[in-house]
Structure 1
Amino acid sequence: MSAVTRRSKERVALDREAILATATELAANGEAITFRSLGTALGADPTAIYRRFRDKDELMAALLDGLIAASMVRVDRGASWRDQLRDGAVCTIDTFSAHPQIGAEATAISTGGPGELAVIDWILDQLARAGLDKQQVVRCYAAYSSYVLAAAATLSEQRLQELAGVPPTSWVGDLRAVDPVRHPSLAAVLPELLVLTPREVFLDGIDVLLDSFEAIVGRH
Structure 2
Amino acid sequence: MSRNPRGSLTADRIVTECLALLDEAGPAGLTFRKIGAKLGADPTAIYRHFRNKDELILALMDHLIGQGLDGFEPYDDWRETLRDLAWRTRRVYLAHPHAAVLGTIRVTRREGEMRIVEIILRTLASAGFDDEEAARLYRVLDDLTLAFAGLDAGFRILDAEQRAKDEGAWSTEYAAADPKTFPNIARSARHLATIDEDSTFGLALDLTIDAISARAAEQMANSQ
TM range (shorter): 0.7 to 0.9
Q: Given that residues 22 and 38 in structure 1 are in contact (C-alpha distance below 8 angstroms), is that contact kept between their aligned partners in structure 2? A: yes
User: After superposition, what is the alpha-carbon deviation per residue over 1:81-126, rounded to whole angstroms, capped at 9, x for unaligned?
Assistant: 1111111111111101111222112333211101111111111111
Secondary structure of residue in 2 paired with 1:71: helix
Give me the whole-angstrom Cα distance separating, in 2, the residues matched to 1:179 and 1:75: 50
- Quick check: which has more Rg, 1 or 2? 2
What amino acid sits opposite 2:140 in the alignment? Answer: A
1:26-105 matched pairs, under 5 angstroms: 26-29=21-24, 31=26, 32-105=29-102
- Matched residues, percent identical? 31
2:196 is the alignment partner of 1:193 = no
Give how far 1:205 is off: 0.8
Higher helix share: 2
Give me the whole-angstrom Cα distance separating, in 1, the residues matched to 2:104 and 2:168: 19
Match of 2:222 in 1: none
1:112-151 matched pairs, under 5 angstroms: 112-151=109-148
What amino acid sits opposite 1:11 in the alignment? Answer: N
Q: Normalization by structure 1: what TM-score? A: 0.84
Secondary structure of residue in 1 paired with 2:187: helix
Give how far 1:203 is off: 2.0
Give how far 1:206 is off: 0.8
Give me the whole-angstrom Cα distance separating, in 2, the residues matched to 1:107 and 1:45: 29
Seen in structure 2, the aligned counterparts of structure 1 residues 76 and 187 have a Cα distance that, compared at 3 Å, is farther
Secondary structure of residue in 2 paired with 1:195: coil
Q: Given that residues 180 and 187 in structure 1 are in contact (C-alpha distance below 8 angstroms), is that contact kept between their aligned partners in structure 2? A: yes
Q: Given that residues 156 and 163 in structure 2 are in contact (C-alpha distance below 8 angstroms), is that contact kept between their aligned partners in structure 1? A: no
Q: What is the RMSD of the two structures over their aligned residues, measured on CA atoms?
A: 2.4
Q: Given that residues 33 and 101 in structure 1 are in contact (C-alpha distance below 8 angstroms), is that contact kept between their aligned partners in structure 2? A: no
What amino acid sits opposite 1:179 in the alignment? Answer: D
What amino acid sits opposite 2:208 in the alignment? Answer: L
Q: Given that residues 30 and 99 in structure 1 are in contact (C-alpha distance below 8 angstroms), is that contact kept between their aligned partners in structure 2? A: no
Give me the whole-angstrom Cα distance separating, in 2, the residues matched to 1:48 and 1:38: 10
Secondary structure of residue in 1 paired with 2:69: coil
Match of 1:153 in 2: 150
Give me the whole-angstrom Cα distance separating, in 2, the residues matched to 1:33 and 1:165: 25
2:11 is the alignment partner of 1:16 = yes
Seen in structure 2, the aligned counterparts of structure 1 residues 51 and 133 have a Cα distance that, compared at 3 Å, is closer
Match of 2:208 in 1: 209
What amino acid sits opposite 1:193 in the alignment? Answer: L
Seen in structure 2, the aligned counterparts of structure 1 residues 187 and 98 have a Cα distance that, compared at 3 Å, is same
Give ranges in structure 1 of 5+ residues lacking alignment: 1-7
Q: Normalization by structure 2: what TM-score? A: 0.83
Paired residue total: 212
What amino acid sits opposite 1:23 in the alignment? Answer: C
Structure 1 stretches of 4+ with a deviation exceeding 6 A read none
Match of 1:3 in 2: none
Give how far 1:38 is off: 1.5
Give me the whole-angstrom Cα distance separating, in 1, the residues matched to 2:111 and 2:24: 25
